[in-house]
Amino acid sequence: MTVRASALIVGAGFAGIAQALALRDAGVTSFLVVERASSVGGTWRDNTYPGIACDVPSHLYGLESHPWPRWSRVFAPGAEIRDYLERVVESEGLANQLMLGTTMTSARWDGDAWRITLAVHDDADFRLTRPETGSSGAPTPKSASLCTREVVADNLILAAGRLTEPKIPEIPGLGSFPGPLFHSARWDHSVDVTGKRVAVVGTGATAVQLAPALARLGARVTLFQRTPAWIVPRGDRAVDGSEIRTFEADPALLAAHRDALYAEGEARFASRSGDPAAAAAAESAARDHLARQVPDPLLRAQLTPDYAFGCKRVLLSDDFYPAIADGSIALEPSALAEVDGSALVAASGARYDADIVVLATGFETTRQPYAALVTGERETLDAHWSRGMTAVASTLVAGFPHLFVLNGPNASLGHNSSILISEAQASFAARLIARGGWVAVTDEAESASTADIARRAARTPWLTGGCHNWYVDERSGALALLWPGTVAEFRQRLEGALS
């Protein structure tokens, strides 16, 4: 059976839900949201590792139209964020337009519309359900049986996110490790870490949360650090009841608090993007934070980056350094180079015996898995991006009419809440769809947009700071993931594209 819709949204994380709300607000009601898992939540559904929490203040990490006064902490735990998204879907009545357990297997532009093939679990429906979980902690379908449906949509919106497919490093012998081995985004909750020798590979945003949490659970943690990170104080705390009651009683005060957090984030752009004075002040604060928490000079040297502040993602933590300083986490200041049975061999030559290996090694950010499934006027999106991800206004791609990519090229942030970007893109797409008419961009427009991004990024630490980061597409050497400006500038760019 073929279903006709004005728009089909792929993904039910923050971006997909924001898009559904934006479409409805714009008067577009004939849309569907498809989600391959059996519940909403995106990265906050998939990531359930110990210690998971947001690194954006809670009251800024939510949809502007759905403020939530009852966050339990200044930085919300992952489970609360997932609950928040489920609550938004329920309160907005989106369940009737949501297809869970449904995977897009292909999408082809036929000259007038998108013909999209979906693989649907035979018991999938439009209800919002919290799934059963398997031993990996990931959602599992109730049935392995699939059926196929076709949707013809005037517009296709890819809101699948950039943090969906775990990146598995190519390490000799890794597959032969005899004990439990899994990526942090596919946490195996059947594994008891108490008293076990747990090796954590990586020192990014996940690892600085995970490693101390594992130590608190009684694990004997060894951390393989390829590259140290700049880390600044987090300042997390529980929110007391009086604060919650104040925000519940005065929505205007809550909105003003969100505005203040937004302004603080925008002010951080200077230090992250290479402003000399701002970067020097921020780096000094990070060095002071390290010095206060790690008295041993050798450890401090091993934990001090040799690249510019802001070149890689700046991390927030108050418990990572103390856990290393007191020996709760054993630091190996080099990468994991080889696995020899249950022995892990570091690039330094040091060997460690381990019972469990956890890969906190990030995601396939610049090679989105959905790209190979989408065929436009001339080629697949994967082929179009074979020399690097590019778009017009971070959303529209030449040769792909009526296609909108959320959280795609140059749509991430290193200084503020990325949900602000998703909401801006969702509003932009909804306004174009509601306006009607032909939606397409030329190759020349995409080239001009790409050149403008390159010009803005040329002197930033993301390209010149002496590090390897996930913001840069290795195929092009260009800044492909990060937006090299403020949120306000991003919004202005989208407004310009609408005119």
The pLDDT tens digits for 36-86 are 999 999 999 999 999 999 999 999 999 999 999 999 999 999 999 999 999
Closest CA to 26 of 42, 6, 12, 41: 6
Q: Domain boundaries in the chain? A: 2-165+364-498, 174-230+286-359
What is the rounded CA–CA span in Å between residue 93 and residue 476? 43
Kindly provide the residue ranges of all beta strands, DSSP E only, lying in 246-402, ordered along the sequence. Answer: 315-316, 329-332, 336-340, 343-346, 351-353, 356-359, 374-375
The neighbouring-strand residues paired with 201 are: 224, 359
> Using one digit for the tens of pLDDT, what is the confidence trace for 320-341?
999 999 999 999 999 999 999 9
Comparing 125-139, 153-167, 380-394, which segment has the lowest mean pLDDT?
125-139
Got the DSSP string for 189-213? Answer: TT---TT-EEEEE--SHHHHHHHHH
Assess whether pLDDT exceeds 70 at residue 146: yes
Which CATH architecture describes the domain 174-230+286-359? 3-Layer(bba) Sandwich (3.50)
| Cβ contact 136:49 at 8 Å | no
Our CA angle for 359, 101, 166, nearest 5°, is 15
| Residue whose token pair is 């927030």 | 316
* Within this chain, domains 2-165+364-498 and 174-230+286-359 share the same CATH topology: yes
| Tokens found for residue 490 | 């991003």
User: Which CA distances in Å does 72 have to 261, 344, 378?
Assistant: 17, 39, 50
Report the Cα 71 to chain-centroid distance in Å: 20
| Cβ contact 461:451 at 8 Å | no
pLDDT score recorded for residue 284: 98
Assess whether pLDDT exceeds 80 at residue 125: no
- Confidence band for 367, pLDDT divided at 50, 70 and 90: confident
Comparing 114-123, 258-267, 294-303, which segment has the lowest mean pLDDT?
114-123
| Stronger pLDDT, 448 or 138, i.e. the higher one | 448
- Confidence band for 139, pLDDT divided at 50, 70 and 90: very low
> Using one digit for the tens of pLDDT, what is the confidence trace for 410-442?
999 999 999 999 999 999 999 999 999 999 999
The helices-and-strands tally (H runs, E runs) of the chain is 14, 20
> Model pTM?
0.94
User: Which CA distances in Å does 334 have to 94, 206, 345?
Assistant: 48, 18, 10
| Residue whose token pair is 């998939």 | 46
Our CA angle for 395, 399, 404, nearest 5°, is 25
Q: What percent of the chain has pLDDT over 70?
A: 95
pLDDT score recorded for residue 72: 98
Report the Cα 263 to chain-centroid distance in Å: 22
Closest CA to 52 of 236, 194, 218: 236
| Tokens found for residue 80 | 């609360």
| Residue whose token pair is 């630091």 | 331
Radius of gyration of the chain (CA): 23
Contacts of 349 (CB under 8 A, 6+ apart): none
The top-level CATH class assigned to 2-165+364-498 is: alpha beta
